[in-house]
Structure formats: structure tokens, C-alpha cells
Amino acid sequence: MTKRNALELKAVKKNFGRAEIIRGVNLDVHEHERHVIIGPNGAGKSTLFNLISGRLKVSDGSIKLFDKNIHNMPAHKVNRMGLSRSFQVTNLFQNMTVMQNLRCSLLWSEGHKYAFWKSVMKQDRVTEHALALAEELNLSSQADTPASLLTYAEQRALEVGCTVASGAEVILLDEPTAGMSRTEANDAIQLIQRMTGKNTLVVVEHDLSVVFELADRISVLVYGEIIATGTPDEIRNNAAVQEAYLGTEVH
């Protein structure tokens, strides 16, 4: 049986002035897949994420989220349609506590747009859900701590928790282990795997040990073009990928 695509990019191009930065990208991300995009600095990974999440308009081509066109829609609409992008830590409300951040995301997923006063009954349910999430994130003991006082790795964990709580089916993660120690990175990967089991994940990541641990499939972006897509083994053994990017790093 063919797998349903959560995301489908067809011949996507992006120019900045006369420079063509994304040069006809075709990419299918299957529902529930963990798809990691790798590539050298300046290959266009962030630009591609900006196009998918609606922060930038495509110059040409189409992007579909579960069969609906989303290219050139504003980011908040793309978000409402079920795609959320987790930035480094900028999605958090720094002065609000862990619980308040989680509650905000849960209420957003129900369309409350931060109107906390709507229903007391619902508030109890949301609080319970937020507590359960804090526990899953190993942040129970910090439930009433403002986000700004968490460690960097804890903030990243909370950020992933808020993204999941916001109800998005497709989650884009931007270098989820950047700036972390090896132990923190391993914990973060386990947390991502645990928290996003029901989601489709698209991840940009530089750390190849993280990439090969996390990915169901990998796409390699070089100078604005995807030169290969495949399982970790297929990518490891792909001669063009080795020449353009991996070198001998993964052997």
C-alpha cells in the first residue's frame, strides 16, 4: 500500500533577487515519518523550512500539506492547518512558567487564542493535560518555574512539548540538538522520539550521529537541490552524497 504524504513539495524554487537559492525541490514526506534534511552550510535548509512554514513565499512550484496547497499562505494559517515549526527557543513565553506555556499551547490547539477565562471545567482538563505533559518532559518539579530560568536543554524540551501540545500533526524541528552536550543531545533525541510518536517530523540537523539515530529517511540538500532521498543506509552508501557532503565522516 502506498503511504499517504503529509507534505509534498513539487518543483519548488526560491530566488532572492537574481540568486536562485532553492532550485526545483521535489520532496515527499510520508505521514508519521521522521524525515531529516541534511546538507552543507548555505545549502538552503533554513530557506526550505521558511517556505514550508509560510514565512517565505515560493518563487515557483507547489507545497501541499495533506493534499491541500499551502504555499504562499501566511504562517499562522499554515499553523492552523496542522503544521508547526519549532524554533530554537523563541516560541516560548519567557516570563511565563512551564505550566503556563503548556496551557497556552493546549488552549491554542482548541482555538481559544489565549482566552483563558472561557470555561472553568475546560480549565481543569487543560491543567491536567499540562501536568501530564510536564511529567513526560521531565519538568514536573519545575512546573511553576518561569521558562527563562530553565537550562537551555530544558527550554528546548519545553519548546518541543509546547509544539506537540499545540496540536500540529506535522512538526518541523530546526536543529533540535544545537548547542547541547552529547548527553543532553541524547536525552533530547529520546524525548523527541517519545513525544512525537503520533506526529510527522521534518528535522534539519547537522549532527550526523543524531541524524542517523532519528531518521526513517534522509534527504540531502546541496546548493538548493535534493541530490538524494533514502533510508540512513541508502544515504550512507550513496556515492554522490559521499562526494558532495558526507566524505568519510560516517564510516
Ligand X SMILES: Nc1ncnc2c1ncn2[C@@H]1O[C@H](COP(=O)(O)OP(=O)(O)OP(=O)(O)O)[C@@H](O)[C@H]1O
How many residues at the interface with ligand X, by CB under 6 A? 10
Task: Quote the CA–CA distance of 202 and 205 in Å, as a whole number.
Answer: 10
Instruction: Report helix, strand or coil for 198.
Output: coil
DSSP state of 109: H
Query: Which string of DSSP letters, residue by residue, matches 111-163?
Result: T-TT-TTS-HHHHHHHHHHHHHHHHHTT-GGGTTSBGGGS-HHHHHHHHHHHH
Instruction: Return the number of the residue (14 or 34) whose C-beta is nearest ligand X.
Output: 14
Question: Which is nearer to ligand X, 46 or 145 (by Cβ)?
Answer: 46
Question: Is residue 127 a contact residue for ligand X (CB under 6 A)?
Answer: no
> Residue 177 interacts with ligand X (CB under 6 A)?
no
Residue 218 binds ligand X (CB under 6 A): no
Q: Which is nearer to ligand X, 49 or 108 (CB)?
A: 49
**CB crowding 190-226: b at 16 or more within 10 Å, else e:** ebbeebbeebbbbbbbebbebbbbbbebbbbbbebbb
Side chain identity at residue 89, one-letter code = V
Residue from 1, 2, 18, 41 in contact with ligand X (CB under 6 A): 41
Of the candidate spans 34-42, 139-147, 192-200, 212-220, the one that interacts with ligand X by CB under 6 A turns out to be 34-42
Strands, DSSP E only, in the chain? Answer: 5-16, 19-30, 34-38, 60-65, 68-69, 83-86, 170-174, 200-204, 217-222, 225-230
Q: Which stretch binds ligand X (CB under 6 A): 39-47, 58-66, 115-123, 182-190?
A: 39-47
Q: Verify binding: residue 85, ligand X, rule CB under 6 A.
A: no
Task: Determine which residue in the list 29, 34, 39, 245 makes contact with ligand X, applying CB under 6 A.
Answer: 39
Name residues whose C-beta falls within 8 Å of residue 87's C-beta, 6 or more positions apart in sequence. Answer: 159, 174
* Stretch 1-30 residues interacting with ligand X (CB under 6 A): 16, 21
Compute the least distance from the CB of residue 245 to ligand X, in Å.
Answer: 11
CB of 97 vs ligand X, minimal distance in Å? 32
Q: Does residue 46 touch ligand X according to CB under 6 A?
A: yes
Give every CB contact of residue 95 below 8 A, 6+ residues apart in sequence.
Answer: 146, 147, 148
* 48/165 with CB nearer ligand X: 48
CA atoms within 13 A on the CB side of 31: 10
Closer residue to ligand X in complex, CB, 45/85: 45
CB of 60 to ligand X, least distance (A): 16
Closer residue to ligand X, CB minimum distance, 87 or 93: 87
* Choice from 3, 42, 181, 231 touching ligand X (CB under 6 A): 42
CA dist., res. 130 & res. 127, Å (int): 5
Of 16 and 116, CB closest to ligand X: 16
Q: Which residues bind ligand X (CB under 6 A)?
A: 16, 21, 39, 41-47
